[in-house]
Amino acid sequence: MKSGEPASARLYESIARTLEQAIEMGRYKAGGRLPSERELSDQFGVSRPVVREAIIVLELRGLVRRRHGAGVYVAAKTPLKALEGDEADGPFEVTEARRLLEGEIAALAAGAASDQQIAEMEAIIARIGDMRTDQATREQADRAFHVALARATNNDVLVGLVESLWDKRYQSPLCVYFFSRAREAGIQPPVDEHRLVLDALKARDADAARQAMRDHLARVTENLLIATEADVLDRARLRVEERRFDFARRAGVKV
């Protein structure tokens, strides 16, 4: 456990581990139903919200599946390994880090980008907005724009940091889950917001570029809030869910 984490974090992680071991030992069979939240709450002597958090951890690991109105069932599939280290990074932490970093990158690029690099980003934005292609292709173009912007600073360290933060979006099960929910909600990479960043680069306006990028990533945070609201109401929320409003407020999103 990280320094400063609440005791409830230890509780739900401990319960999740205990239930995972019970599944591995065959106490709960594949396709079988887990005890109800109330039963598990009584069994472990904890509140039902703590049990819900433990169940969400098992869902993210692929160990159980929730059936609406029927309970939670053991999944018949190979589970994900436990969420540890970088894999536990949540989408709100990652997006906040991107907002702080990429805002400054945009400001730096406004004074450093060559005409060729600006033309390259113009072409990438066209790919982001091409609705004839599938969403995965447009998302790849979204990443390509942010990496190209970092390259326009002529600082390889910044390029590596941007690529690392984007990699977390696909490597962290928490990020994968939240961004897939956004995708299911029909949220698309925003062409207009990228264009505002590029317009500021063309005008060599560092302040406008910084603000346009920060506004864009604040909107990403807002979209994640909207896309996962049903999960919050229905599934009680993980630790990252409990903290999501703090990150949204820091990004200037009204919640």
**Cα distance between residue 9 and residue 223, in whole Å:** 26
pLDDT average, residue stretch 150-156: 97
pLDDT band at 80 (very low <50, low <70, confident <90, very high): very low
- Are both 100 and 217 inside the same structural domain? yes
Task: Evaluate if residue 59 carries a pLDDT over 90.
Answer: no
**Cα distance between residue 49 and residue 154, in whole Å:** 48
pLDDT average, residue stretch 190-216: 96
- Are both 117 and 215 inside the same structural domain? yes
More confident residue, 156 or 88: 156
More confident residue, 5 or 158: 158
| 100-118 per-position pLDDT tens digit | 999 999 999 999 999 999 9
The residue to which tokens 């969403």 are assigned: 135
- Tell me, what's the pLDDT at 226? 78
Q: Which of 50, 74, 98 is the last residue of a domain?
A: 74
- Are both 68 and 90 inside the same structural domain? no
More confident residue, 72 or 9: 72
**Total of domains in the chain:** 2
Residue 221 contacts residue 248 (beta carbons within 8 Å): yes
| 214-232 per-position pLDDT tens digit | 999 999 988 887 776 655 4
- Are both 21 and 90 inside the same structural domain? no
Q: What is the CATH number of the domain that holds 130?
A: 1.20.120.530
Q: What angle do CA 147, 222, 240 make, to 5 degrees?
A: 90
Containing domain of residue 177, as a range? 85-250
- Tell me, what's the pLDDT at 16? 86
Tell whether 151 is covered by a domain: yes
**Cα distance between residue 103 and residue 16, in whole Å:** 38
Task: Evaluate if residue 209 carries a pLDDT over 90.
Answer: yes
Q: For residue 56, give both structure tokens.
A: 């969400």
